[in-house]
Amino acid sequence: MYEKHYISDQELQKFQKKPYRFDNNLRSRLLYQEQRNNFPQLSKNLKQLKNQKKTDFEIDNILIRLVLNITRKTSVKANTFKSGNSQNKCKLCHLLPGQKGFPVLNQQYFVIPNPGITISGDLTIPAIEHRNQEITGNFVDMLKLSKELYDYSIYFNGAMAGATCPHLHFQAGRQNILPGEKQILSIFKNNQISLNLEEINKVKNVRIYRINDFYRECFLLIGQNMRAIQYIFNGLMDKLRHINSLFESTQNIPHFGQYISALDKKEEEARINIMVNWDKDIHSYTVAIFPKRTNRPKIYYNPENKIILGMAIKEALGNIITFRIEDYNRLKNSPSKIIRAFQETSVTKQQGDKLTDYLVNM
């Protein structure tokens, strides 16, 4: 599907200044340099990104970055999953002229720079064939990708938890840029920034943690055994799906199990945001799991004081993206609205307790 968009190693070598080992991690870095020069939409958005407003907060030891990023207007406003399932309209089936990339994981996925950039080095990794945006059966690919792109973290948004395209895709960004990610990864290194961490269990040498007082529920899986991590993840997803099925629908929380026209099926998968990171020095995975109720906080539906805000994986990792200056200013002057957005889109503490009870008894 992407044959016209392949870039060769010969083209990428022009941007290689030092004799590094040529692998997919290096390809990703060189691709970004090439596309910054030769893909006009990325070049334009990178210039705008340099001038974006941003404000950093620290609330109860929780790091949050508020960003005004006009390049994200389409994604923040997107209501993709109410549109029909059509490959003819799928933006990941039809890349833009000038967009280049390379295949990974036995040509199952294709690495391209994300023109709707949120952080420097932002990548999109779509499946080469059009498949539904579901993590079931694809989670192990996140682990494999994190190992191949070892300077990056790999991200996933569930269909009803912030994804803006129904075509299966992951995202990737350079490690340790997003404030919440920085906090999570620092826990197991210098622990410079304290978080209330609770060790729940250890299953097949994979440690399971829950972060308390993070304003959104977050579970961590830390270990080297890919199959053990997959086993724990699958069990957690089954339990979360049951919790999701008991949601009471409200203005901002849609009924679980509804028909999703863009996927041409009823909702079956638990609502979730995921980050996967591979530490090449200690050969260990860090998986951060954010169980969700929805991606839209209540204020999004307020007709008089609406703030256009979507809470997906980058937001779960502390990077709050707005594209309207009035929304940016209101959130900057009232950070408590960000805390409420975390709480209203995450599963509740009581639902997190149920997930914890399940993980304790695995």
Q: Are residues 276 and 153 in contact, defined by beta-carbon separation less than 8 angstroms?
A: yes
Specify burial of residue 349 (Cβ count, 10 A radius: 0-12, 13-18, 19+): exposed
Which pLDDT band holds residue 194 (cuts at 50, 70, 90)?
low
85 pLDDT band (50/70/90 cuts)? Answer: low
Long-range Cβ contacts of 329-334 (<8 Å, 24+ apart): 330/305, 331/66, 331/307, 332/55, 332/66
Q: What is the pLDDT of residues 175-187, one digit of tens each?
A: 989 999 999 988 8
How large is the average pLDDT for residues 340-347?
Answer: 97
Compute, in degrees rounded to 10, the torsion defined by CA atoms 84, 89, 90, 93: 140
User: Is residue 279 pLDDT above 90, yes or no?
Assistant: yes
- Structure tokens given for 23: 């692998």
pLDDT given for residue 56 in this prediction: 95
pLDDT in tens, 311-331: 999 999 999 999 999 999 999
Helix and strand numbers, DSSP H then E, in the chain:
11, 15
Give the Å distances, CA to CA, from 226 to 19, 104, 158, 221, 223.
31, 18, 21, 11, 8
Average pLDDT score over the chain:
91
In this predicted structure, what is the pLDDT of residue 191?
55
Q: What is the pTM of this model?
A: 0.95
Q: What is the largest CA-CA distance in the chain?
A: 58
More confident residue, 264 or 86: 264
Tens-digit pLDDT profile for residues 8-41: 999 999 998 777 778 999 999 999 999 999 998 8
Looking at residue 120, its pLDDT comes to 74
Q: Which of 40-44, 55-59, 105-109, 232-236 has the lowest mean pLDDT?
A: 40-44
Per-residue model confidence as pLDDT tens digits over 283-294: 999 999 999 999
Question: 3-360 belongs to which homologous superfamily?
Answer: ATP adenylyltransferase (3.30.428.70)
CA dihedral 306, 72, 244, 267 (to 10 degrees): 110
Going by C-alpha positions, the residue among 137, 354, 361 that lies closest to residue 234 is 137
Q: Pick the residue with more confidence: 189 or 180?
A: 180
| Distance from C-alpha of 216 to C-alpha of 222, rounded to nearest angstrom | 19
Q: Rg of the chain over CA atoms, in angstroms?
A: 20
Stretch among 11-25, 69-83, 102-116, 309-323 having the lowest mean pLDDT: 69-83
Structural tokens at position 47: 């210039």
Q: Are residues 232 and 221 in contact, defined by beta-carbon separation less than 8 angstroms?
A: yes
Domain extents for the chain? 3-360
- Please give the Cα distance from 349 to 207 (Å, whole number): 21
3-state secondary structure 248-305: CCCCCCCCCCCEECCCCEECCCCCEEEEEEEECCCCEEEEEEEEECCCCCHHHHCCCC
H or E segment at 226? helix 226-245
Residue 51 pLDDT exceeds 90 = no
For the segment 291-301, the average pLDDT, to the nearest whole number, is 95
Asked if residues 43 and 308 have their Cβ atoms less than 8 Å apart, the reply is no
- Torsion of Cα atoms, 163 then 164 then 167 then 169, to 10°: -50
Question: Which is higher by pLDDT, 328 or 248?
Answer: 328
Residue 46 has a pLDDT of: 84
